[in-house]
Chains A and B, each alone.
Chain A
């Protein structure tokens, strides 16, 4: 028995070593580099990062929170329509539609939006042609609103897939019972379905936040100007100054933001488990 166990560890070793050497080691190195100077602990890099980029850090947090809020509302609406709507043909169309961006890469999305949302892009042209806007009123959406639109457009398929999956897995008899007792569809959604899918919603949100915090192409291609997202600042810091300390300090801040949000989610989750 012991022999087979050690055998199995050997099977895992190559994969574990790869993650260890090429992910965990650089990860620890980045943390180390963020808080040390010539081998001694220091806060100068973090201070400098906050001095130079506090606006961008705030901008990143706000962008991510707004995107996630819109994502949550939209995915819940779509998933709820698929689960509760009595019109089969509509739900089928919707089920096909929302999956469309699932495997479209971020960089392709960024390129689409870069031309679509520009001042003279297809979107504004369509508004002008339909008489909704005059050419003088058009504004470019490249900037903070463009970043949010791109994030939501790309992540919508993923979060809706998770949430509608969770809704489909619910016990259907509960919904039927509630309907028989005369509950409206909105009430069923808010009081019966939502409370049960909160864990999945949390997973979708945390994963989306981590994704948004690590995408570089979108802020580079759509977020023209200042303030911009922290990922663009890190790339700039490295490519223009070779300044790994401040870049890593910014990385540390982004870990902390993600960790903070994940902790918030876990705490909520634990609280609910405790209440039950």
Chain B
């Protein structure tokens, strides 16, 4: 479930970067270009505002993706612990002789860890890429807003 949410967020971000972001970027650039005054304090503040607005939109849900990735192994660990509890329940009732009864708990203990690891690792790459992309785009945008009257 967490993995699903994470991937939804990642895809949403990718689509945003591909579709919505260029338009938004252009719109902001246009508002900046329309200004005649580009050197006063007021102009700098307004430029900062534009950059900040765009960066905020760019960065939205990236921290969430990161914390979800951090959460995946934790959830895996939780699954492991509940599985182990089950194993020891069986152990307390049936003694150590019944390996078959314990096997279910053991598999319940190991599979979530594996799933958590897989989800975290797969997410990690995309999270890193997204962060880099976001940083690059925001820098590029601030470069595009020239400070002097051309």
Do A and B come from the same complex?
A: no
Q: Which chain A residues have a beta carbon within 8 Å of chain B's beta carbons?
A: none
